[in-house]
Structure formats: C-alpha cells, structure tokens
Amino acid sequence: MIARTDATGSGGLAPEVLAFTTSLAEDRALVREDLLGSLAHVSMLGRQGIVPKADALALREALLELWDSHGRGALELPDEEDVHMAIETLLDRKLGEVSGKLHTARSRNDQIALDLRLYAREQVRLALGSLGRLLEALAERAQAERATLIPAYTHRQRAQAVSVGYLLCGYGMMFGRDVDLLAYVLESLDRSPLGVGAIAGIGLPTDRDLVRQWLGFSRLTENGLDTVGDRDFALDLSYAAARCQVHASRVAADMIDFASSEFGFVKLSDRIACGSSLMPQKKNPDLFELIRGKAGRSVGNLMQLFTILRGLPTGYQRDLQEDRASVLGAGPGMIAVLEALRTGLAEVVFDGARGRAIIEAEQMQAVDVAEGLVKAGLPFRRAYQAVGKAVAGLRAEGKGLAQVTKTHFPELSDAAVQAALAARDPIAAIERKESAGGTGPHSVEVQIASLKAKAAESRKRAEAIPGLEALMKGLKGVQP
C-alpha cells in the first residue's frame, strides 16, 4: 500500500482492516474530480519548478489517459484505501518512481476537500438545470390550466375554490426558493481548498491561486486547520437536496390524493400508472409514491451528516470518510426526483368538470359572501356569523352556497342581502381574487411570469457554473 512507511507500519493492512476502512466503493463517484484536481496540481508543480517539467508532463499525460479511459468506462481501480491511492497506484504501474512526485505539496485531507467541492458544484449545476426545466414546465402547464377549477384544502377539508393554474404556480414558488437556496450553496462551496496540506500549510513555493483559477473557484480557503475539517458546504448541499425533495414530496402527495376515487381530480396516463400484481383493476400512482418516499432518504442523509460532524474536534478525522453517503447521494437523488416529478406532472390530466361540480355544490365561496356583506357595511365578525348560519341551513337542506336566498339571512337588511346574493357565484368568486398572490386571472398571470423568470434565472445560473468537462478542456491547454 502506498500510504504506509516503516514508521506507520510496513507491509499491507490486514485484509479485514482494509475491507473495513476503505472508501473506494463510494469514492468511485469521485474519479473525474480526483483526476481533474491532480491535473491542476501537477501542472502547478511543474510551473513552479517544484517538480521537473519533464516529470510533470509525463504525469499530465498519464492522468489524461486515465480520464479518457474512465470516459470509455474502461478504468479499473485497484483495491486501495480510497480513490486517491487507487489512482496513484495506477500511475505507479505506468510511470514508476515518477508517480511519487504527484503527491508533493498536498495531503489526502485537502485532496478530498477539493474533490467533494468539485463534485458538489457539479451537482448544483445539474440540479439548477433540472429546476429550470421543471419551473418552465409548471409555468406552461399553469398557463394551459387557468380555467380549470378545483377545491383547495386547509386542514384536509375543502376550503376555497382555485384554478389549477394557481395550484401549479404554488408548486413553482416552492421550487423557485430552491433555486435561491442552491445559489447560496454555490456561494458556500466556492473556495479552493487545495494546497493547505494536511492541516498547517505547505513549506514549498506552491501557488494555490493558480490552481484556484484553473479549477474555476473565485477565492481560496483561508485556514488549513478549518479547511480540512470543513463540511459546511456538504451540509448546505444535503439540506438543499432534502428541502427540495420535501417540496417534491408535497406535490406528489397531492397527486396521490387527487388520483384517488375519493378526490377524482386527476387521471394518470398509462405511461406513468402502475398496476397491482393481484388486483387487475388497480391503476396506482407508484411514481408519485416513490417521489414521496425518497424524500425520507434525503432527510436521513442530512441527519447522518449532522451526526457525524457533531462533536468532532478541529482538523481532519477519519470519521469524515463517512460523509460520502450523504454528500454523494444528495445531488443525484435530488436531480432524479426533479426529473421524475416533471415527467409525472406532464402525464397527469386534471378533471375540470368534476372540480367545477364539487365547487358549485359546496360552500367554498363563504368568505366571498362575507366580504359582500362587509362591502354593505357590516362588521366582518357579524358577516362571518351570518354566513355561518346560512351555510348551516343550506347543509341541512343539502344545498350549496350558490343556492342561498334571502330566507337564509332573516336578520339582515335588504341591501345587505342583495350584497350577499351578488357574491354567491363560486366562479365569479375566483375571478374576484385579484389581490397580489391570489387565484384571480390577472394575479395568476403575474405568478406565471414570475415562474418563467425564475426558470430563466435557474438555467442562467447553471450555465455560469464551470462543468467538469469544460474545466478539463481548459486544463488540457495548460503547460507546466
């Protein structure tokens, strides 16, 4: 094993110890990041004269070959403690003693800090792209469903009527906040850690800023002791992923309910509905149930990372190796859920006829009738009580509030009654809600425009983040 000396113990680790301590299975997700960081590092070593130019060029060529091999799916990593040592072993097989110069002026501590930041940044880039596509799809669907009406719920009871366009805008607002949160995550990880060494810095004439530029970071970490133990950026990414998936879970919960016969507001297309292995009549919302279920895993990953970090002293500890499940799973899990949700919502058909029938048969415009009485001069609480009494009478008669008459308001003046009757139409009640953030047609148009703007912002942010392939293309042109 490479990371062993006579001082630490000559020879290899016991097989069972290596099996327990290795992180290679998880680290395979970091091969590109590790190769990219190593290429930037050795290019700097050659540029600074710390490693002879010929050796730096040989290492660069070997690293590029490994990158190409990985891209073809042909790279096989040897059994080692981690991805860093596995790659160095491959270089040793090819270059012999020259390979030992690659690790000059760095530690695995700052190396993994770099790999994780590169990985997290790439995941933010991809997630912002997915959010942009989802927001655009929600905006377009909201535009198409402005006239489709369904009940909205509070306390799981039918509360007020809204348009489906308004509902979809509500979903979009959640994901719009996720765009803002990912922008914060990007800010928190935008510091290059490479070059602080194991904990206290490097005594050779390195140039950390040169590596920073090549790898697309805007600034450097400022303290090596903090840098190697810092996983705040990982917590930020894990939290963002968990929150985003909780948002997706809430949308999925609506679709699961709405697709049931008890609600009946949506129909699932055959492209996304799953069947029962026993009951031939079932059309199950498995896609949405799994979206809801996967949110639990993302919250668990966040709690796992918090628990690992709680109580660790400063500097690097091997406990930090256990961050892999949380960090490496956060981005792909979030992206998979976002793409699945976008696919699922595109295959859902809203039943506007059922929604309208329920609205017209219910008393969901009760607030609007009370507001009519307020316009006629009644204090709100008196109007509230009067409408409540009228609704009780209508329910006893099996009628909706649209069928309210003067007889249901025996204590009110004729002017007040007329104001109440003028406000009883449930469809008109929806159209009147033009306050900012309401379900009125103009308000919904404003919200749709806001979603489209946030979708464009998300795509723009994604495009501004340097991707791994782009960084590698740039580094190929760097001369040591």
Q: What is the pLDDT of residues 342-380, one digit of tens each?
A: 999 999 999 999 999 999 898 889 999 999 999 999 999
Dist CA 40 CA 34 (whole Å): 10
Asked if pLDDT for residue 252 goes beyond 70, the answer is yes
Asked if pLDDT for residue 83 goes beyond 90, the answer is yes
Locate the domains of the chain by residue range: 15-104, 108-352+447-467, 366-424
DSSP state of 299: H
The percentage of the chain sitting over the pLDDT mark of 90, rounded to a whole number, equals: 83
| Correct CATH for 15-104 of 3.40.1440.60, 1.10.275.10, 1.20.960.40, 3.20.20.70 | 1.10.275.10
Buried b (16+ CB within 10 A) or exposed e, 273-305: beeeeeeeeeeebebbbbbbebbebbbebbebb
Q: What is the pLDDT of residue 5?
A: 46
Query: In the predicted model, what is the mean pLDDT of the chain?
Result: 94
Q: What is the pLDDT of residue 273?
A: 87
Asked if pLDDT for residue 4 goes beyond 60, the answer is no
**333-347 confidence digits (pLDDT tens):** 999 999 999 999 999
Cβ-proximal residues to 178 (8 Å cutoff; 6+ apart), any chain: 131, 240, 243, 244, 247
The percentage of the chain sitting over the pLDDT mark of 70, rounded to a whole number, equals: 98
**In the beta sheet, which residues pair with residue 161?**
151
Dist CA 244 CA 346 (whole Å): 19
Dist CA 479 CA 425 (whole Å): 75
- Which positions are annotated as active-site residues? 155, 276
**92-127 confidence digits (pLDDT tens):** 999 999 999 999 999 999 999 999 999 999 999 999
Asked if pLDDT for residue 278 goes beyond 80, the answer is no
More confident residue, 27 or 466: 466
What's the whole-number mean pLDDT along residues 55-72?
98
Q: What is the pLDDT of residue 69?
A: 97
Asked if pLDDT for residue 154 goes beyond 60, the answer is yes
Asked if pLDDT for residue 66 goes beyond 80, the answer is yes
pLDDT-derived band at 24, boundaries 50, 70, 90: confident
What's the whole-number mean pLDDT along residues 46-64?
98
More confident residue, 330 or 424: 330
What's the whole-number mean pLDDT along residues 455-471?
98
Q: What is the pLDDT of residue 10?
A: 61
**306-343 confidence digits (pLDDT tens):** 999 999 999 999 999 999 888 999 999 999 999 999 99
pLDDT-derived band at 277, boundaries 50, 70, 90: confident
| Correct CATH for 366-424 of 1.10.10, 2.60.120, 1.10.40, 1.10.760 | 1.10.40
Asked if pLDDT for residue 305 goes beyond 80, the answer is yes
**160-218 confidence digits (pLDDT tens):** 999 999 999 999 999 999 999 999 999 999 999 999 999 999 999 999 999 999 999 99
Structure tokens belonging to residue 472 = 């590698």
Q: What are phi and psi of 33, to 5 degrees?
A: -65, -40
pLDDT-derived band at 3, boundaries 50, 70, 90: low
Q: What is the pLDDT of residue 8?
A: 56
**What number does CATH give the domain 108-352+447-467?**
1.20.200.10
DSSP-assigned letters across all residues of 381-435: HHHHHHHHHHHHHHHHHT--GGG--GGG-TTS-HHHHHHHHHT--HHHHHHH--S
Q: Are 255 and 285 in contact (CB under 8 A)?
A: yes
pTM reported for the whole predicted model: 0.94
